[in-house]
Amino acid sequence: MAVQRSGRHKRWGVVVSACGVVLGGLSWSAQAIVSSNTFLPIQQIVGADRFYNEGYYGFGVVVANVEAGHVWDQHEVFTTPVGPGVYQVQDPSLDTAFTTTQYDSHATAVGSILTGIGPFQPGIGYYYYQFGMAPGASLISSAIATDWVGNTGEFNISTKSFNSGYTIPMRDGVPIEIFGKGTGLFITLQADVVNSSWGFDDPAGTSQESMTIDSLIGSHRQTVCLAAGNHDAGSPQVVGPGSGYNTITVGALASDQDNPPYRTIATFSNVGPNDFHNPKLNLDISAVRAAVDIMAPGQDIVAAAYTGSTGSNTGQTDPYPSQNNLYYVGIAGTSFASPTVAGGAALMVGAARDRLGAATKATDTLIVKAILLNSADKIPGWTNNTTSVNGVLVTTQGLDYSSGAGAMNLNRAFDQEFAGNTDLTGLGGGAILRIGWDYGHVAIGAPNDYIFSDPLAAGEMLTATLDWLIHRTFDATTGESAESYFNDLDLQLWSVKNGQLDTLIAESSSMYNNVEHLYLAIPSDGDYALRVLFFANTFDVTPNGDAPPSEDFGLAWQVPEPGAMVWVVGVVMFGMRRKRRSALRMQCGNF
């Protein structure tokens, strides 16, 4: 099978030892790397410094980058890691096909966005363009290509190479030196977060590859971020495996000069609506799914460069032999938006374990996804086409077809994760604060109700996000995946009188998605509640037709207080530190 990366190689340019603005400690500057124009500190733009200010850099988190080839771990941003470093895995049978490690330029660039750092400049600090989203995390570099198709960026995979590429980090785990390379203390760990920036035509998300990833997520509950894909011509629909259901599919924002920047969808970024396939009825329905989940900067990016003659550079001569301090400047593509979101998810997972304990549901993909989507900023033109139906505000698509929930905002995600309810007792709803999240379970005929403890005022903006999983199976013996069942949940807003739900105000009821999303102004002063409703089973192709009439879900909501302070992104100074409890988790195997 031949597939295509999601990067836009024609925009890549190499700069040797690029000169950037440096600050003491780990921090950023609002100035540009290149004095002439648009290179901006992406970490600051997406709000990652909120986590850094609290001491969270991804320590104790394992991130996997599944690409055609491997991250070149000899680049300077990987040679002196503050975390455990880079670990390379692939289908063992490929060791015969490739006599040398297939380092790859695309994988190296993406890997640097995930966990790169440094080198540290004594007495000065770090260059922010060398700094990945989660530099304290371990990085598993998993390669799936069996060969490359010339220098086009295309590559071939086999069922075995693909399955190994995902099952090793997600199911089997990888031995990692938890206190850094050279310490000799290994522990086998599964990835917490996975990123992939490659794709192929699969508008309904029904290929073996898309189903396998969905199945692995269902079994192991990691957060998997995938690039939506790029188009210059042809279909703009989201490509596989990003066209699956259980992942977070990321589109790209252009580097416009608005204030704030990166609030315009890049012209190349793939969008929905995508198609839906009902295997029970063998029915295809075109253009009905919101396949993009969230957006992140994907243009004018700076990332580590590999110019050697392996991977997608096979057959070429290395123009800069032995140099490990080269950077791509001005690269563009959803390939680079996806690891930005994956790195943000890694920060969330690390912070959740520290603040809420190793057993918290905040590390489950249902909650990570709900929080990221619910805290995203709406960009100009955002719409989920809400209309009034018999006095009820109704959306049948949930998310915007082009931008999903909007632009990732880790400032707001931090508050969404920790400032209010952090999982209610039990699985059945209850009283809630203005902001929070819950891991719940809903059954047919028994909706979960979440009643706001305080009244809400007219004009206040409510954002609420519900997500759940499609159920697909993976047979480890045959290496094949199959459909199982898919349920349809709805998210509603009700007015409350005398402690009881009284009038339906708004509803997100998309038939073909596994995300529901409400974004609206509260219509009048009063008491309100959210309701999660099991509406129906969309399809059931289990052997005995016995799919359970119930479903686990993640729910996040927020109604900002009137006059609440807006988090202002600014230049801040801070140092890197580990939280003291991290060491205890390492001893328990929860690294």
Angle at the Cα of 577 (from 28 to 192), degrees rounded to 5? 90
β-sheet bridge partners, residue 141: 65, 88
SS3 29: coil
Architecture of the 2-27+38-353 domain: 3-Layer(aba) Sandwich (3.40)
Count CB-CB contacts under 10 A for residue 400.
Answer: 25
Q: CA distances (Å), 148 to each of 12, 21, 137, 152, in order? A: 19, 37, 29, 8
According to DSSP, the β-strands at 138-143 and 86-90 are parallel
Minimal CA–CA distance to 421: which of 451, 391, 399? 451
Q: What does the pLDDT read at residue 575?
A: 31
Considering the chain, tell me which residue range(s) the CATH 3.40.50.200 domain(s) occupy: 2-27+38-353
For 416, list phi and psi in degrees, rounded to 5.
-60, -35
Q: Which two tokens stand for residue 39?
A: 């290179």
Q: CA distances (Å), 412 to each of 57, 117, 374, 439, 560, in order? A: 17, 25, 9, 19, 10
Sign, CA torsion 218/223/226/228: positive
Cβ neighbours for 458, distance < 8 A, ≥ 6 positions apart: 521, 522, 523, 524, 525
Q: Which letter, b or e, does each residue of 238-262 get, where b requires 16 or more Cβ atoms within 10 Å of its Cβ?
A: bbbbbbbbbbbbbbbbbbeeeeebb
Q: Which letter, b or e, does each residue of 195-211 get, where b requires 16 or more Cβ atoms within 10 Å of its Cβ?
A: bbbbbbebbbbbbbbbb
Sequential pLDDT tens for the chain (591 residues): 666 655 443 334 444 433 333 322 322 222 223 323 345 789 999 999 999 999 999 999 999 999 999 999 999 999 999 999 999 999 999 998 898 999 999 999 999 999 999 888 888 888 878 899 999 999 999 999 999 987 778 999 999 999 999 999 999 999 999 887 778 899 999 999 999 999 999 999 999 999 999 999 999 999 999 999 999 777 899 999 999 999 999 999 998 866 678 999 999 999 999 999 999 999 999 999 999 999 999 999 999 999 999 999 998 999 998 899 999 999 999 999 999 999 999 999 999 999 999 999 999 999 999 999 999 999 999 999 999 999 999 999 999 999 999 999 999 999 999 999 999 999 999 999 999 999 999 999 999 999 999 999 999 999 999 999 999 999 999 999 999 999 999 999 999 999 999 999 999 999 999 999 999 999 999 999 999 999 999 999 999 999 999 999 999 999 997 755 433 332 222 233 333 222 222 222 222
State in Å, rounded, how far the first CA of the chain is from the last one. 36
Q: What does the pLDDT read at residue 235?
A: 80
Cα separation, 146 vs 160, in Å, equals 10
Cα separation, 205 vs 384, in Å, equals 21
Alpha helices, DSSP H, located in 326-377: 334-356, 365-374
For 163, list phi and psi in degrees, rounded to 5.
-60, -45
Cα separation, 437 vs 590, in Å, equals 23
Q: What does the pLDDT read at residue 17?
A: 39
Architecture of the 384-558 domain: Sandwich (2.60)
> What does R_g of the chain's alpha carbons equal in angstroms?
23
Q: What does the pLDDT read at residue 31?
A: 26
Q: What does the pLDDT read at residue 5?
A: 58
316-319 LR contacts (CB < 8 Å, sep 24+): 316/151
Half-sphere exposure of 325 (CA within 13 A, CB side): 8
Q: Give the type of residue at 327.
A: Y
- Say if residues 456 and 526 touch (Cβ distance below 8 Å): yes
Q: What is the DSSP letter of 169?
A: I
SS3 417: helix
Cα separation, 173 vs 35, in Å, equals 44
Q: What does the pLDDT read at residue 258?
A: 67
Q: What is the DSSP letter of 125?
A: B
Alpha helices, DSSP H, located in 41-176: 42-45, 49-53, 76-79, 94-97, 105-115, 159-167
Q: Which two tokens stand for residue 207?
A: 């290929």
β-sheet bridge partners, residue 441: 552
**Mutual orientation of helices 159-167 and 208-220 as an angle, nearest 10°?**
20
Considering the chain, tell me which residue range(s) the CATH 2.60.120.380 domain(s) occupy: 384-558
- Say if residues 115 and 81 touch (Cβ distance below 8 Å): yes
